[in-house]
Copies of this chain bind each other. A is one copy, B any other.
Amino acid sequence: MARGPKRPVTVHTIAEHVGVSAAAVSTVLANRHVERRLAPETVERIRKAVQELGYVPNMAGRRLRVQSSATRQIDLAILTSFEAPLPLVSQVLHALQQAVDAQTSSHTRYAVSIEMFHAGHLQEKPGLLDAHRYHGVILTNTLADDDDFLARARLPYPVVVIGRRIPTCCCVLETPGFVGQRSAEVLLDAGCRQPAVLHGRLLTQATAERVTAFRRAVMARLGREPTVLESERLQPAAASAALQGYFAGGGRCDGLFTVTDSLAVGAYHAIQRSGRKIPDDVAVVGVGDFELAEFFTPPLSTVAGANEAMVAEAVPLLFRLLRGEKNVPQEVLVVPPVYLRASTQRLKRPRKEAGS
C-alpha cells in the first residue's frame, strides 16, 4: 500500500511524515547521525518511517549530488538474448571489462552492464529507446525480427552489433558464406556422401548463413541437397534428441556439420550412443567458439569460431564511436580460423567420386 503508483517516496516524503527536514532523513540514511548529533529518538522515528513507507533511494539523485564534481560515469551495456549461448557474451564481457579497466581513471569511471531480451522481441525491451540509460551498447544474438526493429528505430546511443548486418549500425560479423562453404568442403573431402547439417530452431543471421552456404556448397559438389536437421533448442540434450530421432526413423548420414558448438556436444552423444564411430561412420565438423572442441573424444574439427576475433574488433569500435570519431567503419568482416582435428580424419581413404 505504501507503494502506490502515484509518486515515489523521497526523502521529503519521509521528512514530512516524521515532521523533520529532508536533511535529517538524509543524515540518517547515510548513517551519519552520530557525528551530526541527531537525537536518538529522532533517528528511530526516521528509521521507522523509511521502513514503513518503503523508501527506495533514487540513485540518479545521489550520483548527481555526490560524484558530480570529479568523476564522470560512463554506462556501457551488452545486450543479448536469453535464448543465446553464453560463451560469446562472456567473451564480450571480459574484453569490455578489460578495455574499461584500462581506460578508467580518477575522473572517468565505467559501468558495464548486461541486459537480456527475449530473442525476436527486442522491441519489447523497456527503456531501449531512452537516451538516459546507456552511453553505448554492444548488441549480439539478435533474430530477424530484432533486426527489422533496429533498422527502423535508431537507438539514441552508439551501438556495435556482433554477428549480424544491420544497415544503421556499426557491425562486426564473420565473412558471409565462408563457414558453410568450408565445412561442406571438409566433410566432402573426407569422403562423405550423405552430409547433414544440424541447427537450432531459432536461427540467427550468422547461423542461417552457415546453413544456407553449406546447402549451396553440397548442392554444387554432389548435385543434391544435404539433410537438414533441426534441434528444438541449442542445448546438448535437445541436439542429441533431434539426432536420435533421425537415426531411429532410419535416417542416414556419414558427415555432420553442427552450426553451434553446444549442438556438437549433443551430436557426439547421439552418434556414439547409436553405435556409430566418429569419424569413420560419421565425420563431424563444428564450431570452436568455446575452448571445448579440442577436448572432445575424438577432438572436433572446427571451421568457425570467430568469436574471439569479432570481440577483439567490436570493443575498440565501440570506444571509437564513444569518442565521436567520424570515420568509423560501418562493417568489419572477420575470417574464422579453421582447425582440422580427428573428427574428420578418416582412416579409410575417401573413395574417389565420379566426376571429380
Q: Smallest CB–CB gap between A31 and chain B, Å?
A: 8
- Our pick among B50, B72, B107, B113 for the contact of A114 (Cβ within 8 Å) is B113
- Name the interface residues of A139-165: CB closer than 8 Å to any CB of B: 156
Q: Is A292 an interface residue, CB under 8 A from the partner? A: yes
Quick one: which of A63, A104, A272, A294 has the most chain B CB within 10 A?
Answer: A63
- Our pick among B62, B69, B134 for the contact of A132 (Cβ within 8 Å) is B62
Question: Chain B contacts of A57 at CB under 8 A?
Answer: 131-132, 135
- Our pick among B62, B111, B269, B322 for the contact of A113 (Cβ within 8 Å) is B111
A130 and B66 within 8 A (CB): yes
Question: Chain B contacts of A251 at CB under 8 A?
Answer: none
Q: Is A112 an interface residue, CB under 8 A from the partner? A: yes
Give the interface SS of chain A, mostly helix, strand, loop or mixed. mixed
Q: Smallest CB–CB gap between A203 and chain B, Å?
A: 22
B93 and A90 within 8 A (CB): no
In the docked arrangement, what's the CA distance between A64 and B134, Å?
14
A-B CB proximity, top 10 nearest: A113-B113, A62-B132, A60-B63, A60-B64, A86-B90, A60-B60, A63-B132, A8-B72, A97-B116, A269-B295
29 residue pairs bridging A and B, Cβ less than 8 Å apart: A5-B106, A8-B72, A30-B131, A31-B156, A54-B324, A56-B72, A56-B74, A56-B135, A58-B64, A58-B68, A59-B135, A60-B60, A60-B61, A60-B63, A66-B130, A86-B86, A86-B90, A90-B90, A93-B114, A97-B116, A104-B126, A111-B115, A112-B115, A113-B114, A236-B291, A236-B294, A237-B294, A268-B295, A272-B297
